[in-house]
Each structure stands twice: as structure tokens, then as C-alpha cells.
Chain A
């Protein structure tokens, strides 16, 4: 390959200055003249029939400009299941379900107005436990969903029963994960404006504005051309903004319409924890057949996902949780039974890894347990079973690039696996785990698409406006996409202006989710840039009278290969094209749909992603047995990303993934009381690790050069966070002899576990 000038370079982020100087404009920063503050009235009961709602007093309060109830919001919405309405009319299904909304001149009036709305409820029996919810006779959260089952995704590949019969050992273990929050720096908020012509502008910090526009168009029966969705700078997403809308969004839009004024609804941190969704709690059983030599013969995973009161991404999360466990190891017998179960609790959503981190945790934790039970090295056991390039896996994935074994060996080497295993020290332990995640995905039946778009306009001076369907949500996508554009066009990075997050100027795409910006979004940029390059070279060729194939572009200058004296700038070529009779402009576009296929509806098999990213985490802990304190001494985190378009940015992603994974593994937990109210809705007792808690991290980039993605790149964002709890559980077990199978793994659990063990001895 020709020498790369931009791709593969650790260049600083294109948005660094505006972010570090505080100039970046978030939706939360926006105020408009005459703007009102909106808010929702939420149910204090987990399950109740609504007998009456009296908004009279609130309406009469000075400063209140609009009050709405479910009568004003007759829309149903959802991600896979249309089971939600913005404001409830018949019954509420969890503590926090919205029943009315108010727009007022300031926050104080708003709070008072909300307190003046009187709702009469008749309490209904509620169900808080997914096991109980599945029993006959349990209260139904949605009357049309018997057994409270929202979905029941299954994978049934090969013959697991036979695999178990033929295995030397069969092990079955149980695992549970907790609800954890995205904790976006910018809480969810929006701002709705209707203009005099009836056009809606919705300022909305979203990961997928074009999908939001489609959904708003359907709900409000407006042409898409009459709706503009603008994200501004987005303060983090992690999947919480991949949900296209929330009750707060409908409320703001309807309140704005009713009051004739712009309406903003903004969550505080406490709202954010519960009402922006969170990672679902999974209750899992893993059964694995394995031979004495470590060959895994088959695996059966049963997973109960506590969906909460509404589905949102729950069924997708439950499905994805099963999708990838047949793609990590070579066994060809795989079964997954997922149950996504309604309860009268707050509802979860998509969160970085979308179900995959939970099931990886259970399966990889069990593999480490098995290694201990049958006396094999956990690293060797993984290497023996690891998939490789060229494999067609049990799940049906066709691996065109796979750096799994290298990820494992490098992570192990960097943590000092061999030496430390040979010389164990008291109270210390090592853990290793690996994983796989997709790069864009085609898993939703009925939507056979996984695409991104890009448009390029080259200006008179040779600079470039690049519009992408990918939203920069903090991951660095705008930088990476600009690098790809610069590389293909041969134009300096400083000449490229990237535009994102505005449906009026950006092409449509599936947004920033599923680890797809660099690869799927990057391919759209690459294709558009190739087109623009062809157009530029065609013009230059006319002017220089040299065949386009014999021309090249570097730093905005077009030269004849081997004859550098014959040259033209890109600016000159563009102007040559534009300023003449019958002229032309350099404008290019691309819509790129990833080459992947929907799964077979019977078995669940399919090559559902353009590429698969692998990774491993190896870590060492020291445990203080007398206090339970777990000190993570270091983490080696490897990531097979195909090609690092920007190594600096991607190392940041890997470190950020470790940070988030560490929170999931040992600090974070949404605690609910018996009615489903959050007990710790503030950052003191919902603990994300601070910078002081971060262990040293060694990021390892494994470049397996994928044949499909741009310059060989695959996704990183989600795989980067997978693997921490499963590596931690094994390390803590080695240090203490305790397998703590319910997350998070806290000092208190270690302490009490050791105490109980001592008492039993």
C-alpha cells in the first residue's frame, strides 16, 4: 500500500480546542427568546390504574403556559416493540411513569405547577421479580403480553445435548449482573421549536438524529422535510441516546405546539439515572461441555433479562446477548434461550455492548472457573478454543480478519502472565478474559440495512465540506472521518470542515451506535472521497492533458506522476471546472450499506456484521483479606481493530473502555427499593471510578487488516469495555479463593465471603 499521510497517525482531535476551552455548544447550553421550561409529572406508584387527572389548578397558576396529559399525546412508540405511550392515560407501570407535562416561564413555576396536578390512582398488584413475573397468575404489566414475556430470542445451532453427552465434563453455573447507568456528562435534554409555517426544529442530543426524524414524522404526521433535528455537540451517548425518543421528547414538542413558544426539557442527574435508561440486569445460567484436553464441545446459555415496564431496546439487548457467544470459540453446538421479561420497574435500554457485556461476563467467568476445576491454564484454554481468520463460526459469522489469539497472547505477555503464574504471591491474583463484538449490525428482523452516508463539496479554494451521518458523541469520529477523507483526497486535514448532527445538512444514516462510525461511516466517507477525487482528477486531466491515472494529489496539489513540474492545485482544478460555460462542480455523495446478512429466523445463524472485533483484558489484583479491599494493580487491554486510523484516539477509547468496565465490575450499581425507586440517584453513592481509582492501563492495538473496512479498520467502542468483570472475578478468585458471581465485586462481598469461609472451616 502507498504510504499513508493521515490514516494511522495519532493526530489531535479536530474538536479538541472547542471542547477544552468550554466553547463547544451543547443542547443544554441553548436558550431561545421566549423559551419555556418543561417538565413531567411522574407516577409515585409502581402499578396503578389512573382514575382521574385534574390539571385545573396548575393551568390557572401564573406563569404556566401549557399543561398536557395523555389525551394530547396519542402516540405509540418503541424500538422493536411499540409498547410505550408518552403520557399514560389508563395505567402507570412503574414509579416514574409519566402522566402529565407542564411548560412554564421558569423552573420554580414549573415545579409548583407539577405539584398542583392531582392524579387519582387505584393501586394494582405489581411484580418486581422477573422469575415471579413469568409465573402463571402474575400481574400483567401489559395485558397483551402473557407471562410478561416481551420477547424470547433463541439460538439453536448444532446439537448441544449431544455435545454435553459426549463431553468429559459438563458444568453449569449461575451469574447475575446489576443495573448500571451510562452517566453521560450531559444529561438528556431537548428543545422544541415550531415556526410559523408549521415546521418543527428539534434540538436534541441524539446518537441517531435521522432516525429520530423518521419517527417524529410518523408520529406527528409531518413530512420529513418539515422536521429538522439538530444534535449540537453531544455530551456522551454510550447507547442511551440511541433510543430515538423518550416521553420527554414528545412532551416538549407537544408543549411547544400548544404554547406557541420554544420548550426545553432538561433532566437533572437524578432523572438521568432512571429516565435515560440503563444497562439491564441479566440473570444467567451457563452450561458448558468440555473435554479433558480443554476442547469445548458445546454451550447452552439461558438468560432472563429484567426488561422493566417498557421494552425500549430490551428485546434487542436480550437478542444481542446471545448473538455473539457462538463467535468466540470454535465449538459448533450452541444454544441460547433469552427471556426478556416485563416487571413494574424502571426500564433499561441500549448501553455500550448492548447485552454482550453481561453474557460475556457469565460465559468467560465460567470458563475461568472451569480452568480451575479441571486444572488447565485459563490462557491456554482460551487459545486452544479461539476462533481464527477464515472460520465460519457457530453463530454464522464469517471471520475475514481475526486477531483473537494475538490479543490473548499480547495481553498475557504485557501483564506478565507466565512469570507471575509461575511465582504466585499471597493475596495476589491474575485474571484474563476475551471477547468479540460486531462492527455495525444487521440483527433487527424487518430492517435489512446497516448504512451510513457522506457528502463532499469541494470549495473554490480547494477546501472541503464533508457532511456525515455519524454524530460526534465524544468518541472521536469526526477526527477519524476527517482523516479518511484527507487521505483519500490528498487534502490537508486543516482544509476539511466536517459537519454532523443536523438532518438538514447531513445525509441519512443509522447514527452513532453499534461500534460503526469508523468502519461503516468511514466507508461512506471513503466512497464519497473517491468519487470527489475522480471528479477532481478528471478536471485536472482536461487542463493538464494527462490521463487521470497518471495524476496524484498530495497536500492539495495535483501532479503528474514522475513529472512534478506539471502540476495544478485542487483549487485551480475546481475553479477550472466551475467558471466556464456549461461548468461543473465537485460534489460527491455515498450511501454505503455494510455487506452483512440477516440471521436465519429458525436457528439464529447469520453473518450479521461486516466485521468482528476481538479483544482481551488481563489484569492483576492485590486483595487485602482483612478489609476486602481490591487493588487493581494493572490492566493490559488488547483490541483487534483491524487498523488504527488514529492510534492516539483509539488508545483513549481502550482506556475509557477499561474505566467503564471497571465501574461495571466493582463500583457501580443502581440500587432500587422494593417499589423500584432509586436509592442512590446521585454520584456520591452511585460510584463511577474516579481518575484516582484508575489502575495503570496498557492499551495494545492489534491490527488484523480487515478486507472490508476503510484502510482495514473495524469497530472498537463496545469491545473496548467488554472483559473487565470477567477478568476481575478470576483475579479475585485467585487471590482469595472466592468466586463472586453477582456483580459488582465489592470489598464488602470479599470481606463477608472470606468471613463465611473461615466460619465454615
Chain B
């Protein structure tokens, strides 16, 4: 591994200042399960690493019926997996946590790191998109709030400016009576990125789709909401036919590539089937 300078700030402000000072030569370090893999392989060669783990107050995860779920930047996947209200109110996030890497990776890796790494195949974005999560972004001088969908700029590229950190993630309480889930198709049952992932959140009233959110992973440069497919369903009576049609529209909205994990053709086929199943299973 290339030599680098390690900083261990104790406040967010200090961390942001360091990151701003070193610009694209610097990388923030949370669990390190993405960053260190890249550094050891030589894909990433930062001059400066800013360890966030000495900063207090970033490890909290809390839920309130009014404000929803808030997740600090250093909250690990294990914390998410073991949080009772995550399982209760955010089943899709719970499923994403359960199918994340392995025990060791879940103990080290953070949700914030997962989002900032911005892999289109990652476990975090898809469930968070259907819960319409927002991010609190801390800069060297100011804070801002960003819709999660605004965080992804491309494969392994986030939209943060130099010196900015994701400090907290908010998930509003899901609409009453809605059901949600996360389906990850991967070639192994553990230690695996998604070949295709689908998240769905559905609220049905009087047998009609009142609310539909669909998010897709690993079928485009960034994880995204399939708005066209959602529209197909809205106010329609739930039927297999309409769900199949929506699935086809979702497939048409996607732009999968062929890579080592799968061909584009296979991904399209998987996506269509998984989208249908994600909708169907929300109705069950």
C-alpha cells in the first residue's frame, strides 16, 4: 500500500477542514471495508486519510414515531440489523442489513460509508430510496440537507463537495399501512454484491395502488427510483397483469451493463422478474 498521512480529528468541523484542505488527495475513513480494499489493491491512492472514528456522537441510531429513524455516520450494519424498530418499521432496510457481506463486514462497515461509496450494486441505497431518506451534509463552514437520490453522481462517485461529510441519515416514518421489502439477487448467499436489486414500498387502499415506490440497484450507473413503473400502477387495481406490465416498464427504464457478474440481457430478465415479485410480495 502507498504511504499516506493519517489524521484522527475529534470533531466533524475539524474533519471537514482537513478534507477541504487536501481536496481530492484526501479520503474519509469509516469502517474501511470499501476504502482499504481499494487502497490495498492500488485502485485508490490517497495522500491523506481522515479517520472519522474518533469523532463523538456519530454512532447513534434512534427511532421516534414522529420523526422516524435517524442514523449517525458511524452506525454499523450490525447496529442496524439488531435495532428492533428497524425490523418493525423498515423491513427493506432490515433485509438489506441481513444480506450484507458477513458478520465481520457488518461489524465494521457503516451505512454512511456504503452510501458514500456510491456503488450502484450496494445494499444501502435501494431500501433508503423507497423510504425517501435524506442526508445531513456537514461542510467546513455550513450544513445542508440532501435527498438521498441527490447523493449519487455515478458508479463509485458521490455528489459531495471536497470537505463535505455525510453526518446523519434520516428516514421518515413509512406511510401508514404500507408494506415494503428488498430483494437482492446475488450469485452467492453471502459475501456478495447484488447482480440486481429491487426495493418496493406499496400502499393499497380498496384494492387499488394508492402509493408505489420502486427502487432499482445494479441496473444503471446509480441506484434510482423507477418513476415510470410506479406511475403505471398508481390508482390501478392490483392484478398480476398490471404488475407484470409495471415490471416491464421498470426494465425499460433501466440501463444495465454487461460485466463480470452478469450480461445486460440477464440483468434485464432478472430485473423484470424481481420487480414483479417485489410488488407481488408486498401484496401478500
Chain A residues near B (Cβ < 8 Å): 108, 270, 626-629, 667, 671, 679-680, 682-685, 687, 689-693, 746-748, 751-752, 755
Contact = CB atoms under 8 A, between A and B. Distances in A.
Given A683-B191, A755-B269, 9 more contacts: A628-B266, A629-B185, A684-B193, A685-B260, A690-B189, A691-B190, A693-B190, A748-B262, A752-B266
27 contacts: A108-B2, A626-B273, A627-B185, A627-B269, A629-B185, A667-B188, A684-B191, A684-B192, A684-B193, A687-B187, A687-B188, A690-B102, A690-B188, A690-B191, A692-B188, A692-B189, A692-B190, A693-B189, A693-B190, A746-B187, A748-B262, A748-B263, A748-B266, A751-B269, A751-B270, A752-B263, A752-B265
Interface in B252-284: 260-263, 265-266, 269-270, 273-274
Nearest to A686: B260
B5 interface: no
A747 B260 contact: no
A623 to B, nearest CB: 14
Contacts of B3: 108
Contacts of B176: none
B260 A689 contact: no
Chain B interface, >50% SS class? loop
A14 B266 CA distance: 49
A748 B263 CA distance: 8
B188 A627 contact: no
A349 to B, nearest CB: 24
B270 A627 contact: yes
Interface size class of B (residues with CB under 8 A): 20 to 34
Contacts of A682: 41
A239 B28 CA distance: 43
Contacts of A746: 187
Interface string B125-162: 00000000000000000000000000000000000000
Given A690-B189, A746-B187, A751 B260 contact: no
A14 to B, nearest CB: 29
A255 B102 CA distance: 41
Contacts of A626: 273
A755 B188 CA distance: 22
The winner among A270, A629, A687 for most chain B CB atoms within 10 A is A687
A627 B187 contact: no
Contacts of A270: 41
Contacts of B185: 627, 629
**7 nearest A-B pairs in the assembled complex, by CB-CB distance:** A692-B189, A692-B190, A748-B266, A626-B273, A690-B190, A685-B260, A693-B189
A274 to B, nearest CB: 15
A740 to B, nearest CB: 14
Contact of A667 (B41, B187, B262): B187
Contact of A627 (B192, B260, B274): B274
B266 A751 contact: yes
Nearest to A666: B187
Contacts of B265: 752
Contacts of B273: 626-627
Contacts of A679: 260
Contacts of A684: 191-193
A629 B195 CA distance: 12
A299 to B, nearest CB: 35
Contacts of A680: 260
Contacts of A751: 266, 269-270
Interface in B27-74: 41
A680 B3 CA distance: 26
A79 B38 CA distance: 37
Nearest to A690: B190
A115 B278 CA distance: 51
Nearest to B274: A627
Interface in B169-213: 185, 187-193
A748 B269 CA distance: 10
Nearest to A748: B266
Contacts of B193: 684
Nearest to B262: A748
B188 A689 contact: yes
B269 A693 contact: no
B3 to A, nearest CB: 7
A691 B140 CA distance: 45
A233 B197 CA distance: 43
The winner among A626, A671, A748 for most chain B CB atoms within 10 A is A748
B187 to A, nearest CB: 6
A747 B192 CA distance: 15
Nearest to B261: A685
The winner among B190, B263, B266 for most chain A CB atoms within 10 A is B266
Contacts of B274: 627
A111 B263 CA distance: 36
Contacts of A755: 269
B47 to A, nearest CB: 14
Contacts of A667: 187-188
A751 B264 CA distance: 13
A479 B251 CA distance: 57
